[in-house]
Structure 1
Amino acid sequence: MAAVESQLILGQVLQSSSTQYTIIEFIGEGAFGKVAKCQVNSTSELVAVKILKDTFVQDMEEELSMLSKINLLDPDQFNLVKFHERFEYSSYTCLVFELLEMNLLQFLKTKLGSSMYVNQIRPIAKQMLVALQRLQSLGITHNDIKPDNVMLVNTEEDTLQVKLIDFGLAHPSSSTTHGKWLQPMGYRAPEVCLGLPFTEAIDMWGLGYMLANLYLNTNLFPVSCEYLMMKAMVEYLGMPSEDQLLFGMHTKRFFCQEADEFGLGWRLLTPEEYSEINRVKAKEWPPWRPHFFSLDDLLYVSILYNI
């Protein structure tokens, strides 16, 4: 199929078996294709239509399975995006969702221009905990919790109402395979990094990381180098346990054992050792980036970031 943007135009009508959707504007784009803001011709309701490229259609079936389970609930009650229908139009596969205003990343950049206060973050945290609790009850792991995937319903409200979106990487918790790389860089839970068995708890890690980012207006851990990400985890939280290091499939990607006066002990690889073992050069710590050595240091973030 040719690129989505070369064939779809503003004003074009997408036809499902029961509904006509007129494209008003394109509001998102990714490797999967595009997201269009559309008007339902019969009701004038505005919706978001995710238009998929051919290469992503076969990977969509699990996402549809997850969305079908979620739709058995009241998505509004559990802060989850509402899914309307899937349809084929010409050579496109389209997924129709409720239209939400903007994601948290856009909100930080365009509306606030700075980090969020704790009293703004707290209701977001509460709503996302409700969403994750419901996903856990359905046996679903989202795998991609980040500000881009949390949408604001209405930015004009005093208390921000949010919904979790994008189940493209979600899967049944019962089918997880440890050792598989999941979650975006920086957001990756320690058990995923080390190649240990994991549960839906990795979504809680992703949520905690996201909330820290809202507070800092930057990433808590580096997101451009997995070595620096692990280095930051160790500095902030301490070394993983002996058992975690012994049984992790990817432990030796980041750590090694060496003898000392107490016997064999684990330590983090040096940047040079990591680069040699993994044949990927470890990046330098950015000079502009403050170094935290514990989560308690976040208490002084207003001084460090001058906010």
Structure 2
Amino acid sequence: MAAIESQLIVGQVLQSSSTQYTIIEFIGEGCFGKVAKCHVNSTSELVAVKIMKDTFVQDVEEELSMLSKINVLDPDQFNLVKFHERFEYSSYTCLVFELLEMDLFQYLKTEIGSSMYVNQIRPIAKQMLVALQRLQSLGIIHSDIKSDNVMVVNTEEDALQAKLIDFGLAHPSSSATPGRWLQPIGYRAPEVCLGLSYTEAIDMWGLGCTLANLYLNANLFPVRCEYLMMKAMVEYLGMPSEDQLLFGMHTKKYFCQEADELGLTWRLLTPEEYSGINGVKAKEWPPWRPHFYSLDDLIYVSFLYNV
């Protein structure tokens, strides 16, 4: 990030072939670069400009490929972020999007301050289902559905409108490759964890985790440790099927077989076994985080937890 910070500053003008964008403030950042809130000099419109490092050229081309497919749709009708243009500035590639107010993580923290009621969550769920259905019709897997990537358009409107953003990790479903690491920890579907074949259904899993976050004001699955994430999945949903465990490319990262009176039986690794096999220390289960034994148990949650 130091390279971008040293060359791009508030007040600087980014020039495309037809438009000048003045940086007002930086509103987000990641390994790719930064997102700047910009003023369109000719119209006074406010936009979000994603400023990509030159080391991410291939990622830019992949994201643009997905955006070009999505851009033929009406972004408002299908609850997808509106993409305006791409241009080069110095050694950076800039992608210009409509400016949205805040993501669901910020909204929950600053506007709600607690968990949301089901009747508040339902409109968000409906809008995201419309977005995912449209992506599926285009053969696109978003693969990064999480609270940070669902934006509230305007908190001052009576009817809350949400849009799906960030197609940096999106890819065609036809290129889905078993064993590929996708989705953030805590939002990762079981088939991705185990290294199985996957489809657009992994986005539904990510959306479910996002909506649960709104309901709980906390993460449904641990987000700081892959082992604890899998442990929670097993506790909530039970062990994966025999076939899933047998054919998963990453199965032995989390599970092992041992002999008993019935033959070979799969079980979850202990934290010590996981650490020894993977070279990554498994975190301890936080004492304040309860153990659930089905998703139905979440109905009775009356306190906050976090990991």
| TM-score for both structures, normalised by structure 2 | 0.96
Q: Secondary structure at the match of 1:243?
A: helix
| Aligned twin of 1:184 | 184
- Output the amino acid matched with 1:280: V
Q: Pairwise mapping of residues 63-78 of structure 1 onto structure 2 (< 5 A)?
A: 63-78=63-78
Give the Cα separation in 1 of the matches to 2:210 and 2:270: 28
- Output the amino acid matched with 1:52: M
The percentage of aligned residue pairs carrying the same residue is 87
Is 1:9 equivalent to 2:9 in the alignment?
A: yes
| Aligned twin of 2:271 | 271
- Output the amino acid matched with 2:32: F
Native 8 Å contact 1:120 1:159 kept in 2: no
Is 1:97 equivalent to 2:97 in the alignment?
A: yes
Is 1:228 equivalent to 2:228 in the alignment?
A: yes
Unaligned residue ranges in structure 1 (runs of 5+): none
- Output the amino acid matched with 1:260: D
Is 1:127 equivalent to 2:127 in the alignment?
A: yes
Could you tell which deviates more after superposition, 101-110 or 260-269?
Answer: 260-269
Count of aligned pairs between the two proteins? 305
Give the Cα separation in 1 of the matches to 2:85 and 2:167: 15
1:258, CA displacement in angstroms?
1.6
1:159-217 Cα offsets, whole Å, 9 max, x none, are 21000000000111100110111100111100011110000100000000111111111
Give the Cα separation in 2 of the matches to 1:180 and 1:19: 39
Give the Cα separation in 2 of the matches to 1:283 and 1:8: 39
1:71-113 Cα offsets, whole Å, 9 max, x none, are 0111111000000000011222110000100001111111112
1:158, CA displacement in angstroms?
2.5
| Aligned twin of 2:291 | 291
1:2, CA displacement in angstroms?
6.2
| Aligned twin of 1:41 | 41
Unaligned residue ranges in structure 2 (runs of 5+): none
Q: Secondary structure at the match of 2:301?
A: helix
1:261, CA displacement in angstroms?
2.1
Q: Secondary structure at the match of 2:115?
A: coil
Native 8 Å contact 1:86 1:95 kept in 2: yes
Native 8 Å contact 1:13 1:21 kept in 2: yes
Give the Cα separation in 2 of the matches to 1:2 and 1:119: 44
| Aligned twin of 1:152 | 152
Alpha-carbon RMSD across the aligned residues, in angstroms, is 1.4
| Aligned twin of 1:142 | 142
Is 1:244 equivalent to 2:244 in the alignment?
A: yes
Native 8 Å contact 2:35 2:48 kept in 1: yes
| Aligned twin of 1:305 | 304
Runs of 4+ in 1 over 4 A off after TM superposition: none
